[in-house]
Amino acid sequence: MKLPTHLKQELNRMKKTFMKDANLNDLIKELIKRRRKQILVHSCLYYRMNHTEIDDHTYDQLGKDLQLLQKTFSELSKEVIYHEYFKDYTETTSGFDLPIHLPEIVEAARRLKSSVEWLKEKGLLDQIKGGNNP
């Protein structure tokens, strides 16, 4: 499987932590789902809430990851939630044109924003920063 090291590492972490019994196809689909949701949530934060939690480079990397995963595993990607919105996705697709209005995306963005604000308020954010889950 021709994937960059960081994606292979993420698949391995997923397998070890919460998908112990999953096969490779299930792991790939979960990673595609994860990238789609990350892009949707961070686009919602940016375009609807005028707020950011990740820098442009990180957002761009999420897009590159998703584009590579969908190209490499095109048949599997069709089975993953939000396929209809991401079938023509490229790393240059604007998040503004994605379904950032969906209730579950707006709610996830609100929860993320609220959680980060709480962590900052409690002085705990620096303790968890540097993790690999944007």
What pLDDT, on the 0 to 100 scale, is given for residue 134? 45
The pLDDT mean for the chain works out to 93
Q: Is residue 70 part of a domain?
A: yes
Q: Is residue 133 part of a domain?
A: no
Is 70 exceeded by the pLDDT of residue 56?
yes
Q: Is residue 134 part of a domain?
A: no
Stretch 5-29: mean pLDDT, rounded?
A: 96
Stretch 85-110: mean pLDDT, rounded?
A: 95
Question: Distance between CA atoms of 58 and 123, rounded to whole angstroms?
Answer: 23
Is 50 exceeded by the pLDDT of residue 81?
yes
117, 118, 119, 122 alpha-carbon torsion, rounded to 10°: 120
Report the share of the chain in percent with pLDDT over 90: 86
Lowest mean pLDDT among 15-19, 82-86, 126-130: 126-130
The larger pLDDT score, comparing residue 126 to residue 54, is at 54
| Number of domains observed in the structure of the chain | 1
Is 90 exceeded by the pLDDT of residue 132?
no
Range of the domain at 123: 5-128
pTM of this structure = 0.90
What pLDDT, on the 0 to 100 scale, is given for residue 131? 52
What pLDDT, on the 0 to 100 scale, is given for residue 42? 98
